[in-house]
Chain A
Amino acid sequence: MSEQNTSPSRPGAGRHRAPEQHGDAAASRPEHDAGVPGAARIADPERGGATATEGVLDGAGRTVLVTGASGMLGGDVARVLLARNWRVRVFQRGHAAVAERKGVDEVLGSITDPEDVARALDGVDDVVHLAAKVSFTGDWDEFVRVNVTGTRVLLCQAQNAGVKNVVFVSSPSVAHAGVSIEGAGAEPANPETARGNYARSKAAAELLALSMDGQRDLKVAAVRPHIVWGPGDTQLVERVADRAAAGRMPNLDHGAAMIDTTYIDNASEGIVRALERIDVVHGRALVLTNGEPRPVGELIARMCRATGSEAPTRSIPGGVARLAGKVIETVWPHLPAKLRQGDGEPPMTEFLAEQLSTAHWFDQRETRELLDWTPSVSLDEGFSRLAAYYQDHPRPHQRTGSVSLDRVEDVADEQRARAEPSSVASDSENSNLSTDLQSVRSVE
């Protein structure tokens, strides 16, 4: 294993940006952090200036573990790391296509199983952690198990294995309390206010991960790419395309809410860049986007066009959608399987409704300065590549149609009475969350 070509970590520096909830951070905070946050922090010479080129980690001779590489983003991150001379190992439950590339080896196992994880970490210098349960709906326990416990297991074992650097891939939704975000930076993650099980569990996991920065020489940074899309993306592009084709994708309100997105290449390059610049960015969370916010209606229209489907022409008010979403989140798991067609995801959840009906776009100045990097693929270029891909891989456009949007609204009406008691019965969730927060704290 080659030596890291950077200066050794400085005492206390690792706690630099540790979220304040975590106890003793303030006590060990270095003097230079006493001032105002923002530009001064970036220019701090001790941490390396924004444009400094020293402190860039070279992948040659290093081994990196990528968790969750069967997903679109994980696979692409592995590809970029490989191109930057890392030896790459991927780790997930099932086989990942990227493992077939030369220079990539694969360990299969569960992120929550300490032995599987230890096996995967053997001989590893750096980790990019993407494995997560990503869904708009689902059991809270399952989210906690995969996203929080999985992160804890991975980081503890990484420490034991002598891993130096970890990039935790997070989501801006960890700091999104449901109100619009316009031109903001990376606010602290907050599991109390984050919306939906995914975001809340990721928020807890991010806090957990960053709290381990600086412990036993471990450097941890969090990168929050916002709405990643690209060719072959089953999470967003194909879901939007298929739903639009089936008439199930409405514009919320007038589709005017402005949102940031991240083209896949930029997301994976940014994540790898965070690993390369770990000396500068460790202890922090960075939001990562293309920096080209667009109205959601325009994005959906362009995705539909690129995939050869019809853009949605109808709109429903965001408030109705949110209510419908809340109801559906509650009743969806109990619906007969024949109604839960397709990918098993409900047509609209409260979280999704919020995501599509309020602004969330970000100030990318700090991210770009810290990473000393700008996205290489513009939105326009991204849509061209998307169109080229779907020309070769056309979507099958049969109408599945058993739950159309009208049906969604009917369900919303019918189930409102039944849903209301269950929607407020979230005490068990809260206690779960607090239990897990307890465990987050106990790690420190």
Chain B
Amino acid sequence: MTASTSPQRSGTDRLPFTDTPLPGVDPAWSTVLTVASTAPVEPVAGRRRRWHVLDNGDAIAASGRTPQGIVLAVHGNPTWSYLWRDVLRAAQEAERPWRVVAVDQLDMGFSERTGLFRRLTDRVQDLGDLTAALGIDTAGLPVVTLAHDWGGLISQGWAQEHPAIHAATVLTNTAMHHDNAEPIPSALRLALNRAVHAPLTSGSTAFLDTTLALCDPAPSKAVKRAYKAPYTSRERREGVEHFVADIPAPEEHPSHAAYERIAGRMSAREVPTLLLWGTGDPVFQQRYLDDLLRRAPHADVHRFEGARHLLPEARDIATPLLTWLDEHVGDAEPVVASHREQRARGRGEFVPFFAELDARRRDDSPAVVDMGPVAQTVDGSAPSLNVERSVSWRQLSADVDRLAVALLRTGVRPGDRVNLMVPPGSLLTTLIYACLRIGAVIVVADQGLGRKGLTRALRGSSPRWFIGIRKALVGARALGWPGTRIAADAMDPVSKKLLGVSHTVAELMDSVTTVAPAEIPAVDPDAEAAVLFTSGSTGPAKGVVYTHRQMAGMRDTIRDTYGLRAGTGLVAGFAPFALLGPALGAASVTPDMDVTSPKTLTARALAEATMAIRASAVFASPAAIANVLATATELSPAERDALARVDLMLSAGAPIPEELLARLQELMPAAELHTPYGMTEALPLTDVSLDVIRAAREDAQRGVEGAGRGVCVGTPVEGAQLGVLPLRADGTVSSEIVSTPGVTGEIVARAPHAKDHYDRLWITERASDLTPGWHRTGDVGHFDARERLWYEGRLAHVITMPSGPVSSVAAEHAAQTVPGVGRVAVVGVGPTGSQSAVAVIETVPAASKPALADAELSERIRATVDFATGVPVSAVLVIPEQPTDIRHNSKIDRAVLSDWAERALATGKLSAL
């Protein structure tokens, strides 16, 4: 947060122009100079104008250091150079300093009120006059433009006139161009309305107040006062009014030509570009970011989830900005680029993800089968299978080709993002493979993210196309999900119009009768293929981008690790793997279940799906397995036999307790039970079978080095390499990769099927690439002497106790063995290095409200955990139910819990969670 990073030195944060204290400003930065103006608006050319700027150049020189370059920071309307105070300070204090010149534009901030209506052209000219006068043009240093709001266009105008020294562009919530096909944002429309324009902008501080309100978290009162300090009267606010009136959207506007010229030229010169974006800005919405990305497709982007218009005020942009500058303008090695060079690419030639479809063009056996609801038997006889739809390889392959061509003809281009909101089954399979075939990028956001998370994910990934079932289209219409809408179901013209649907899939398919192979372009192996989303159990869901090569890598890893040969039948009960069947050449069947809720899969539905294609492999989630076991008594003898013939069972998403697996083994006696470990960014990374889990447990009891303390997740899958970065006492990690038995650290992975990058999250991406060539998982674990990995929880959840850092999983497992205890989360409270461990537990039966555990239960849990792990538990708190993510219904939200526990134990009050 901005406020906390600025030292509040009372008495030193004042400028001579105002009595209002300006927290965070060093008066030494404040510079006033007069500059001869060459702006066209000036009636007398060369009229000298008084400027105010904040400039840390002298302070850097005084410390005997030379800046690496100059950041020219241009504010928007109605802020002033105060917006950049944290950047000035951080750049000055950095080991490799940057001179930051933050200007107050004329008629704004503490610069002169010229009484003229300065338009875009004038302002670009003004800025040029100023940099010449300041000697920036001849300083022999690279200049980086940094801008917010309408400062964006002005700084770009300046950059285009100073190509020799302009080295990089950094933009925060701004707009380069407004596409007149779409109405401009309603907030600005209101401000532009003649009747309200003047009263809003200069007649009162309404425009200022509104702008300051577009900041989350809200600035302090003192900071708000500082923003308003230069705008105390109508006269002083005139610049605000003119600025708003100069928003040059319509063609007949006087600034329109200049605006078109600047926007048009932006893509002409490719300089390093960083876009830092608050996602909750009602004015500069996602489409302006999309527009910028069309003009600068090479830009690094970071979207700050939840930040609003005043991004530089609401988030720390100085730290990532300086890191980026060092790497892209300075001499530091760029972490992301170096990671891309060093990561694993897989051996052998690239075989497209969809290659098996071509190979099986003439195969009439089923490729994809959808099951209908399970039929009830009254008389105990074997029920007939309710197969809803069965598609042969021949038909699937033809459908995919036809749809691919139809999409191309409709305007879907390679690289276009296509959001698919269709439940798993044959239709989704056809859509996915058609998109991949033409190089369109599939965006797969499942409903497990919840309505809000889904909207956030979809807006952020900017799909150009939206293909969904009716329910999804209704959501798209209501929630404003982006993309040209295509209906997956057949639809009457009225509904189409109502839902804003331009095509239906059936129409598209029908429009293509024959497919010429040449019509479908070959895919670029290193182009984007898919955007998947993390579950959101570790913060807002992140988009994870895979290339075609990486998708092919995932297929090969699964095939080679589990020996899934073409011709196998598999039950696709787990979404991420559901799309793999056709790629593997395996027939796949989707069981009858509510896909949004994995725990709705019943034993009978699973058995019947297995019977439909004589499946030998089952993919399911942990929640689904729990329900299958719970409903196993409903199975008929034939269904039981079908499950008994399964020889591979794969469950991913979260670890499964051994006891649950043992019960599953009874149901599937012939099956090898595997629970791979991995994450949306790299799935799977390790594999473990029930046999290995049992052997590992025995090793832990025998005292094999490193065995125990966590969940055994087995050994790396084919193609993957794993290591750990050892934990330090303060909970950070060292940089050396080790696999020493018993040494706990952050798990790092190197695999050809690991993600390409996080979508529009440059800061997050860089953090995950800090060990170039490896993906930092954010998980902690250790190896044992038999090279098995033990997962110990999340790095962010490591408890830094006086005795050293402690991961939570082993303590949780121990606590769960105490009778009467349900799920447990062990979290840390207190400051780093001297934290206390607190067990937050569910009880059986569940408590009705949060409470302190009674002394006896506390003592039992404490003793059990201490015996098993040596972790001292200070307090035991009871809650009715652990907060978990929706998708897996299994990952406990520890961040929420530790905040809650910290509050409870500090104040003595147990609030509701």
Chain A interface residues (CB < 8 Å from chain B): 180, 182-184, 252-258, 291-298, 301-302, 305, 311, 317-318, 356-359, 361-365, 380
Establish whether residues A254 and B906, one from each chain, have CB atoms under 8 Å apart when the complex forms.
no
Q: Say yes or no: B874 contacts A252, CB within 8 Å.
A: no
Q: Given A297-B852, A301-B854, check contact A180 B907 (CB 8 Å).
A: yes
Q: Name the B residues within 8 Å of A359 (CB-CB).
A: 905-908
B833 at the interface (CB under 8 A from A): yes
A sample of 7 cross-chain residue pairs with beta-carbon separation below 8 angstroms, ordered by A number, consists of: A182-B906, A183-B836, A255-B852, A257-B906, A294-B874, A356-B908, A365-B833
Q: Which residues of chain A have C-beta atoms less than 8 A from B908's C-beta?
A: 252-257, 296, 318, 356-359
Distance in angstroms from A203 CB to nearest chain B CB is 22
Which residues in A have their C-beta under 8 angstroms from that of B830? 182-183, 361
Sorted from nearest, which 5 A-B pairs have the closest CB atoms? A183-B830, A257-B908, A363-B834, A183-B834, A253-B908
Residues of B within 8 A of A254 (CB): 850-852, 904, 908-910
Complex-state Cα separation, A296 to B850, whole angstroms = 16
List of A residues within 8 angstroms of B874 by Cβ: 258, 292-295, 361
Q: Is the CB of B909 within 8 A of A318?
A: yes
Measured between beta carbons, the chain B residues less than 8 angstroms from A184 are 831, 834
B836 & A298 in contact (Cβ 8 Å cutoff) = no
The residue from B834, B902, B905 contacting A295, defined by CB atoms under 8 A apart: B905
A256 engages B905 (CB within 8 Å)? yes
**Which residues of A are found within 8 Å of B851, using beta-carbon distances?**
254
Contact present for A183 and B835 (CB under 8 Å):
yes
Interface on chain A toward B: helix, strand, loop, or mixed SS? mixed
Evaluate contact between B875 and A363: CB separation under 8 angstroms: no
Complex contacts, A182 vs chain B, CB 8 Å: 829-831, 902, 905-906
User: What CA separation (Å) do A39 and B261 show in the bound complex?
Assistant: 60
A298 with B834: CB separation less than 8 A? no
Most buried by A among B851, B905, B910: B905
Instruction: Say how far A43's CB is from chain B's closest CB, in angstroms.
Output: 15
| Contact pick for B905, options A258, A292, A317, CB 8 Å | A258
Interface residues on B, range: 20 to 34
Smallest Cβ-Cβ distance to B802: which chain A residue: A365
Q: Tell me the nearest residue of chain B to A304, going by C-beta.
A: B855
Instruction: Point out the residues of chain B lying under 8 angstroms from A362, CB to CB.
Output: 834
Residues on the B chain within 8 Å of A253, using CB: 907-910
Convert B845-856 into 0s and 1s, putting 1 for each residue whose CB lies closer than 8 angstroms to a CB of A: 000001111110
Most B-side CB within 10 Å, residue of A258, A291, A357: A258
Within the complex, the shortest CB–CB distance from B903 to chain A, in Å, comes to 10
- Asked whether B802 lies within 8 Å of A293 as measured between CB atoms, the reply is no
Considering residues A253, A291, A294, A317, which has the most beta carbons from chain B within 10 angstroms of its beta carbon?
Answer: A294
Are A295 and B875 in contact, CB atoms less than 8 angstroms apart? yes
A-side contacts of B904, CB under 8 Å: 254, 256
Is B455 positioned at the interface, with any CB of A under 8 Å from its CB? Answer: no
Least CB distance, B898 to chain A, in whole angstroms: 12
Task: Give complex CA distance A380, B862 in Å.
Answer: 11
Query: Are B855 and A305 touching (Cβ within 8 A)?
Result: yes
Asked if A358 meets B907 with Cβ closer than 8 Å, knowing A256-B875, A292-B872, A294-B875, the reply is yes
Extra A-B contacts (15), CB below 8 Å, given A255-B852, A364-B834:
A182-B906, A183-B836, A184-B831, A252-B908, A254-B904, A256-B852, A258-B829, A258-B906, A293-B874, A294-B874, A359-B905, A361-B836, A361-B874, A363-B833, A365-B833
Q: Are B836 and A258 in contact (CB under 8 A)?
A: yes
Residues of B contacting A295 in the complex (Cβ-Cβ under 8 angstroms): 852, 874-875, 905
Whole-angstrom CA separation of A363 from B906 in the bound complex: 15
| B392 partner residues in chain A, CB cutoff 8 A | none
Residues from chain A with a CB closer than 8 A to the CB of B615 are none
User: A297 CA to B858 CA in the complex, in Å?
Assistant: 11
Please, how many angstroms separate the alpha-carbon atoms of A296 and B906 in the complex?
A: 11
Q: Which of B804-851 contact A (CB under 8 A)?
A: 829-831, 833-836, 850-851
Q: Which residues, 862 to 879 on B, are CB-close (under 8 Å) to A?
A: 872, 874-875, 877
A439 to B833, CA, bound (A): 39
**With the chains together, A365 CA to B833 CA distance in Å?**
9
Number of A-B contacts (CB under 8 A): 102
Min CB gap B477→A, angstroms:
47
User: A311 — which chain B residues lie within 8 A by C-beta?
Assistant: 855
**CA of A298 to CA of B861 in the docked complex: distance in angstroms?**
13
A291 nearest in chain B by CB position: B802
Which of A301, A302, A365 is within 8 Å of B834, CB to CB? A365
Contact status A257-B855, CB under 8 Å: no
Chain B residues positioned under 8 Å from A365 (CB to CB): 802, 833-834
- Which residue of the partner chain, among B834, B875, B909, contacts A258 with CB atoms under 8 Å? B875
Chain A residues near B831: list those with CB within 8 A: 182-184, 363
- Per a CB cutoff under 8 Å, which of A256, A296, A357, A363 touches B802? A363
Residues 165-216 of B contacting A (Cβ, < 8 Å): none
| Residues 117-147 of B contacting A (Cβ, < 8 Å) | none
Q: Specify which of B802, B853, B906 is in contact with A364 (CB 8 Å cutoff).
A: B802
CB-defined contacts of A364 to chain B, threshold 8 Å: 802, 834
Q: Give bound CA distance, A359 to B836, whole Å.
A: 12
Residues of B within 8 A of A318 (CB): 907-909
Q: In the complex, how many angstroms separate the beta carbon of B461 from the nearest chain A beta carbon?
A: 40
B836 in contact with A256 (CB, 8 Å): no
**Beyond A294-B874, A301-B854, A361-B836, is A256–B829 a contact (Cβ under 8 Å)?**
no
Expressed in whole angstroms, the Cα–Cα distance for A308 and B854 within the complex equals 16
| Neighbouring B residues of A293 by C-beta, 8 Å | 836, 874-875
A245 CB to nearest B CB, Å: 17
Closest chain B residue, CB of each to CB of A258: B905
What CA separation (Å) do A253 and B910 show in the bound complex?
8
Contacts of A252 in B (CB 8 A): 908
A318 and B908 CA atoms in complex are apart in Å by 8
Closest to A303 in B: B855
Q: In the docked arrangement, what's the CA distance between A257 and B877, Å?
A: 11
Which residue of chain A has its CB nearest to the CB of B832? A183
Q: Report the minimum CB–CB distance from B573 to chain A (whole Å).
A: 42
- In whole angstroms, what is the CA distance A158 to B85 when docked? 56
* Nearest chain B residue, comparing its CB with the CB of A319: B909
Q: Which of A297, A298, A357, A363 contacts B907 (CB 8 A)?
A: A357
Bound-complex Cα distance A91 to B905 (A): 40
| A415 vs B872: C-alpha distance when bound (angstroms) | 45
What residues on A are CB-neighbors of B875 within 8 Å?
256, 258, 293-295, 298
User: Which B residues touch A291, using CB under 8 A?
Assistant: 802
Q: How far is the CA of A356 from the CA of B853 in the complex (A)?
A: 17
* B528 CB to nearest A CB, Å: 46
| A257 lies within 8 A of B905 (CB) | yes
- Alpha-carbon distance A184/B831, docked complex (angstroms): 8
A380 CA to B863 CA, complexed, in Å? 10
Cα–Cα distance between A362 and B802 once the two chains are bound (Å): 11
In the complex the two chains form, what is the Cα distance from A388 to B725 in whole Å? 49
B838 nearest in chain A by CB position: A258
A292, B833: Cα distance in complex, Å: 15
B852 touching A298 by the CB < 8 A rule?
A: yes
Complexed CA–CA distance, A286 and B854 (Å): 32
The proximity string for B residues 877-913 relative to A, scoring 1 for CB distances below 8 Å and 0 otherwise, is 1000000000000000000000000101111111000
What is the CA–CA distance of A295 and B840 in the complex, to the nearest angstrom?
13
Expressed in whole angstroms, the minimum distance between the Cβ of A364 and any Cβ of chain B is 7
CB of A41 to closest CB in B, whole Å: 16
Contacting residues, chain A, for B852 (C-beta < 8 A):
254-256, 295, 297-298
Which residues of chain B have C-beta atoms less than 8 A from A358's C-beta?
906-908
The CA-CA distance from A291 to B830 in the complex, in Å, is 13
B579-590 near A? 1/0 per residue, CB < 8 Å: 000000000000
